[in-house]
Amino acid sequence: MKKLLLVFLLVYSSTVFSQETTSKTVSSSFSMKITSLEDLEEIDWDDLKAMFSDSEPDEKITIIISYVNEHITDKHNGITQENNSEFKLKSENTAAHINETIAGLKKFTTTFIKSQH
């Protein structure tokens, strides 16, 4: 009886362990909408890169950064007007090239910020 119980428990435990699966969440796209230059300057590029760290190297990833300036000030007259200027920066690449993708996005946003000052 003990042997039968032992065999049953071994079979049962091997069945339970073979059904155990692990899952992980993998990001393949990210989008953000920013309404101020300060927020654009404060993007944490390392955190953005880390979001895609578990992606497969050949997996396609997409990053979209939208900047909407809802209030544009006329520097000559000091008038604020509703204008809704917007640019959308979209980058698609594979996860293996995330460093190049982040570097390109960072360079573009830095250039854009300088052009707005």
The string of pLDDT tens digits covering residues 50-78 is: 888 888 888 888 888 888 876 655 555 65
Give the range of the structural domain holding residue 84, as residue numbers without chain letter: 28-116
Any domain includes 8:
no
pLDDT digits (tens, 9 = 90+) for 25-55: 566 888 888 888 888 888 899 988 888 888 8
What's the first-to-final CA gap in the chain, in angstroms?
Answer: 84
Give the closest residue to 62 by CA, choosing from 87, 96, 28, 32: 28
The pTM assigned to this predicted structure is 0.62
Any domain includes 107:
yes
Any domain includes 78:
yes
Q: What's the average model confidence in pLDDT over 86-106?
A: 84
Q: Is the pLDDT of residue 1 over 70?
A: no
Q: Band of the pLDDT at 19, cuts 50, 70, 90?
A: low
In the chain, how many domains are there?
Answer: 1
Any domain includes 80:
yes
Q: Is the pLDDT of residue 12 over 80?
A: no
Any domain includes 15:
no
Any domain includes 77:
yes
Residues in the chain: 117
Any domain includes 20:
no
Any domain includes 17:
no
